[in-house]
Amino acid sequence: MTDDVRAIAHRMYGAFNSRDLAAAETIFSADFVSHPLETVGVDSVVKAWNGLHAAFPDIQVIVEDMIVERGKAAVRTTLHGIPASVEEQLSPSMMEIFRVQDGRIVELWGMSTLNRSADGSATSG
């Protein structure tokens, strides 16, 4: 289970970085819940990712640390490709915790040091 959770985490960040929005259908459950965005469903992920890619065309999420235990992952990432004018520090960062069930991400909690973009998105999911 630990390897499966780690693999789905890397798939999520890889899909975000490569702008593979279609992959969201295979990464997130149909009833996925994003607590930071207060949204439900895969479409909400695609909308959030589109918003971040539109606001920051060069954005890349780099995994710095990942702890996996009992179907959950806690991940610390840094965000690169953010123009200096919107950075509050050298590299904005995110902390996300997500729960995996049946090989898909079903629930996510997170915080980011990135200022909210125009559409309100601040996390990857």
**What is the tens place of the pLDDT at every residue in 4-47?**
999 999 999 999 999 999 999 999 999 999 999 999 999 999 99
List the 39-40 sheet strands across, edge first.
39-40, 28-34, 104-112, 93-101, 72-80, 60-69
Give the dihedral sign, CA 113/114/116/119.
negative
Domain boundaries, the chain: 2-112
**How far apart (Å, rounded) are the C-alpha atoms in residues 112 and 87?**
12
- CATH number for the segment(s) 2-112: 3.10.450.50
Decide which of 84 and 56 is more confident: 56
pLDDT band at 89 (very low <50, low <70, confident <90, very high): low
Range with the lowest mean pLDDT among 50-59, 63-72, 88-97? 88-97
- Residue 88: per-residue pLDDT: 54
